[in-house]
Structure 1
């Protein structure tokens, strides 16, 4: 019987001796990856088409507004306020949110990779904060870029610097609040199901149905001279909430029927509801991923 010999080969395995980057690095990496993914960066070419197309659609009207303002002789201001721009293009914002919020969270839920994130060193709060911050940042880029185009165009047209800077600052505050509110509720709706299609439908429904209902009831109130109800009805839709806040505090012109936007007193209620929804969205995401991380 032939003898067999046993050999031990040293194939060079060594323990890791580098620095441990920890939770902060993991959180930043997840935020960066999620933000890039919201515009299709680092993904297939097909994944870039819709977000980049919607970004172009958001910026194109701003460029046209600037061109018209410069071309009209004697023009001293832009034909559209900075605070009104996002309201007019709310459908584009809604489509972007509906397409990218599920992309950000649904795949992790569908393929059950969330527990792997929470193994170590990242924790549940890091995952939620990174995803929320990335979605808010993506929406802010989408909504702030056209305002920047308008602002630069207004300065090149030599419109009043102080007025344009004030209007631009008010517009930026408005779209920041919009991004925080829409990003939170969009992620909550998308995180309810691992199926991306259901997430898309849920986000669209949350934005469209309440807005349509509120607008209809406000129209009825205006037609029956019950104008006092108009400002209170705006509390029941995300986009009318933003409209109310910027009308009360940012010098915007209300899009409510007859221009009956909330007063400063009612505006405080609007602001509190917006902050409550933002905080509630964060709490809902934390609760959702407490179960998903098991």
Structure 2
């Protein structure tokens, strides 16, 4: 008996992976279905720009001291805070132990003499506040919310000013508490405290603007740190040396004019002339009536100028 092979129909297709001779029907086309997975529009309160600005301020202020960040981020700010407060505690202890009639160091003088430590704090905090946003390109995320560039600048400026104010005003409060413990005159110490707090606020706002304006130029944090330290320390040391030379050459008028050339000596002249502090200029030189308006004008120019530079910087940032 002979068996002839069965011829397959060419129109019949055997799918791969199926037994020979078993045809599979194509799967029926399903109907399109829209699935409701529970998303719905937000119908809660719209908090707006004010809430976003306050949140950015609080976040930046906390970040200045490493709060809400890793333990490593808290080390340097807390060490610097301890360094700036420790001498005040020592002054208080000496005053109480010796029953001195007055503090050996005034409030404003204390802040001015610790400018190197304050400069390091500004150099550490200002780039952290703005440079990292530029480096990691998170600025557009801020501006995608109901917040304008002016809100961003105001929040960062206010946060760094507040952080710096806490940094420089804390030892002033310690000195005041020590003066009361030493039973010094309450009225005099309270007046000195008020003058010291005003000076700390002015000092903080001016230096915060300078630090932010420098830090916002570059997204590189290291470059910002180096630039801030250079701007705050080199001119101060140079002008202080030139003032000492002018004082030795009996040129007291030049001492005041030279003080306009660095932020530290600028603040020294202002506090001695307008806030009753002790002058750190050679020979205790105080500004003349002709020099004083220029100091006030320069302070106003620094505040307005650094704010304007920050606004201009963030017109194109992140776009």
> One fold, TM greater than 0.5?
yes
The answer for unaligned runs of 5 or more in structure 1 is none
Three-state SS of the structure 2 residue aligned to 1:274 is helix
Which deviations, in whole Å up to 9, do the C-alpha atoms of 1:180-229 show, x marking residues without a partner? 11000000000010000000011001011111221121122122222210
Q: CA RMSD in A?
A: 1.2
Bigger Rg, which one: 2
Structure 2 Cα separation of the partners of residues 24 and 293 of structure 1: 22
Q: Which of 249, 252, 276 in structure 2 is aligned with 1:251? A: 276
Q: Which of 134, 142, 147 in structure 2 is aligned with 1:117? A: 142
Determine whether 1:191 maps to 2:216.
Answer: yes
Higher helix share: 1
Contact 2:134/2:318 (<8 A) preserved: no
Contact 1:32/1:134 (<8 A) preserved: yes
Contact 1:84/1:253 (<8 A) preserved: yes
- Work out the number of aligned pairs and report it: 293
Structure 2 Cα separation of the partners of residues 92 and 15 of structure 1: 51
Kindly report which structure 2 residues correspond to 1:157-196, keeping only aligned pairs within 5 A, or say none: 157-196=182-221
Q: Which of 225, 243, 249 in structure 2 is aligned with 1:224? A: 249
Which deviations, in whole Å up to 9, do the C-alpha atoms of 1:125-162 show, x marking residues without a partner? 00000000000000000000111111112112221001
* Greater alpha carbon shift after TM alignment, 259-268 vs 79-88: 259-268
Structure 1 Cα separation of the partners of residues 229 and 206 of structure 2: 15
Contact 1:83/1:167 (<8 A) preserved: no
Structure 2 Cα separation of the partners of residues 264 and 292 of structure 1: 43
**Counterpart residue number, 1:53:** 79
Structure 2 Cα separation of the partners of residues 146 and 212 of structure 1: 23
Structure 2 Cα separation of the partners of residues 251 and 76 of structure 1: 19
Determine whether 1:98 maps to 2:123.
Answer: yes
Determine whether 1:69 maps to 2:95.
Answer: yes
